[in-house]
Amino acid sequence: MGYLMLIFGYKFAKCKKSINRLNLNYLCCAIVFLSYHLHNVDAAYRPHIIFIMADDLGWNDVSFHGSDQILTPNLDALAYNGIILNNLYTQPVCTPSRAALLTGKYPIHLGMQGAPILGAEPVGLPLTEKTLADYLKELGYSTKAVGKWHLGYYKKEYTPRFRGFDNFYGYYTGLISYYDHILQDVYENIGEFTGYDLHRDEQPAWQDTQSTYATDLFTKEAVKFINDHDPEDAPLFLYVAHLAVHAANAGKLLEAPQEEIDKFRHIIDPNRRTYAAMVSKLDESVGEIIEALENKEMLKDSIIVFMSDNGAPSAINGSQPARSYPNWGSNFPFRGAKGTLWEGGVRSPGILWSASLQQSPRVSTNLMHVSDWLPTLYSAAGGNIADLSPTIDGVDQWLTLTLNLPSRPRTSVLLNIDERSRNAGIRVENWKLIIGTAQNGNYDGYYGDAWDIFEGYRNTYNASAVLDSKTGQAMEALAKSLFVSWTNEVDIKTRRQQATITCESGNFWGNAVQMSCQTSPCLFNIEADPCERNNVARLYPAITSQLYDILKYYRLSLVPQINQPVDVRANPKLWNNTWSTWLN
């Protein structure tokens, strides 16, 4: 309406005295009518947004980062035809990352910077917060969520359909097993709570899905949402938060179809082999979603994002660590694992794709945080950034990324401040400061597998498989229809090399420098030392002090953690053996 007044305002001001009331009414009606139809034209051209979030996926578990052990042809095809985001940061664990994604805020400003929400914990994303789904709904989007929620469900007001999503199919808690869709939570001094956790909107939906592999189940639902969508009616926002590749319940941590496991016989460790199959099924899911978009003729009008919520909770040198839910993922060559502020815990594999980006694919080293997706995608959808909450921490990166501008919208990222564990971290430009430690320093080293640097563990990278994958075929078909070039094997080799992080040579396990930031801060130059092997805090005391002062500034705005004690009324035995909202 504002730009319409710019068009009509000057002439209207000059002649308004001579316009009678009837003509004025006609003019007002005409403006309202024109404004309505211009709005609808804008809405018709809003892109579909498909956001795929993996769970606990390691940096080295996608082959577009240079690993030859687990081939991910669909993800690679998407990456090589779009933007590989090589400096995308998340939070160290799942609930905080998802909160940051959907609110555009650092978790310290939500009180969600601590531990993930437990199954029987009466807490959730504050109801005062608008979500990305809320904002996109205001722009006319149809909003769907599939898979993991993990932002609270003890009251129905905290569940997805009350947080901006029209429909939801998935699980409320942090994990379920892949075939039986059960969560087993064990609470100190209380005991074990066990129940099914699979819902369609607010209703239990586990009865007819037993023995169906969860990745296939969520893929099928995502594809159905696409197939049932009418793009003439509204643009689609589809949030697919996979269970994969999070570990499942104790006793069956890693699960995958045997025929998929058999594809990875070159991997000697049986746990890592099963994990590779889980990654492969995730990759297959991405291909099926993209194929569905192509078949529906929605791909050319879509924006697709892929990332992980945090690093992998890696096993130590191939053995099971004394931690909950290890998945044998690999963050190599980075230090640390899920739950830590080391690069291995908070640096995520990331991809941004759209048809326009296919004409200029590249590797981006721009600094980015998971909270940036809310303003970035809202901007991509045609929203006015001024309409967003003024308190968001995320930065709109849409124009910079899509136009490959030299400007850098973000020069710093707050990694986290956990006031209870006294662990904090921040990155400013190329400098990164860590104070304190997480999980008693048990994961301050290098974990997961460096195995693909050894003979006998590697596969042979197959660029043809990337081009022949469902995603590769869809990218080629789209490029031909738009009369633009598409990625070839030479491009794949070049961009794969550009996306590969290398560090100083040597046996990471045997020669790794022990690192502790417990008694004094650690400072790293991440560009020169991405594997955080050289603490230079003593060499650069002024920089250390400056970053420490920035952390203290953020500490002033920290909201205390809102985690609550477990509520025994949540026991699924009281709710037909189902994890359900229990305080409504």
Neighbours of 138 (CB within 10 A): 13
Query: Residue 64 carries which side chain, given as an amino acid letter?
Result: F
Q: Is 242 a catalytic residue?
A: no
Instruction: Report DSSP letters for 137-182, one per residue.
Output: HHTT-EEEEEEE--S--SSGGGSGGGTT-SEEEEESSS---TTT-E
Q: Is 84 helix (H, G, I), strand (E, B) or coil?
A: strand
Look at residues 56, 356, 466, 50 and name the one whose alpha carbon lies nearest to residue 223.
Answer: 50
CB-based burial of residue 314 (10 Å sphere; 0-12 exposed, 13-18 middle, 19+ buried)? Answer: buried
In the sheet with 142-148, reading across from the earlier edge strand, the strands are 203-204, 199-200, 167-171, 142-148, 236-241, 48-54, 302-308, 350-354, 83-85, 362-364
Tell me whether strands 302-308 and 350-354 are parallel, antiparallel or unpaired.
antiparallel
Rg (CA), the chain: 24
- How far does CA 125 lie from the centroid of its chain? 17
48, 94, 199, 517: the active-site residue: 94
- Cα(479)–Cα(481) distance, integer angstroms: 5
* Burial letters 356-386, b for 16+ CB under 10 A, else e: ebbeebebbebbbbbbbbbbbbbbbbebeee
Q: Nearest 5°: phi and psi at 162?
A: -105, 5
Integer CA distances (angstroms), 213 to 57, 208, 209, 282, 500, in order: 18, 12, 9, 11, 32
109, 150, 199, 369: the active-site residue: 150
Tokens of 104: 């555009």
Tokens of 301: 């009008």
Q: Is 6 helix (H, G, I), strand (E, B) or coil?
A: helix
Residue with tokens 């699980």: 171
- Cα(381)–Cα(98) distance, integer angstroms: 20
Neighbours of 571 (CB within 10 A): 22
Neighbours of 73 (CB within 10 A): 25
- Dihedral of the CA atoms 53, 54, 59, 63 (nearest 10)? -100
Look at residues 211, 336, 349, 196 and name the one whose alpha carbon lies nearest to residue 279.
Answer: 349
C-alpha atoms less than 13 angstroms from C-alpha of 572 in its C-beta half-sphere? 20
Q: Is 531 a catalytic residue?
A: no
Integer CA distances (angstroms), 490 to 78, 82, 464, 467, 474, in order: 16, 16, 11, 12, 19
Active-site amino acid positions: 94, 150
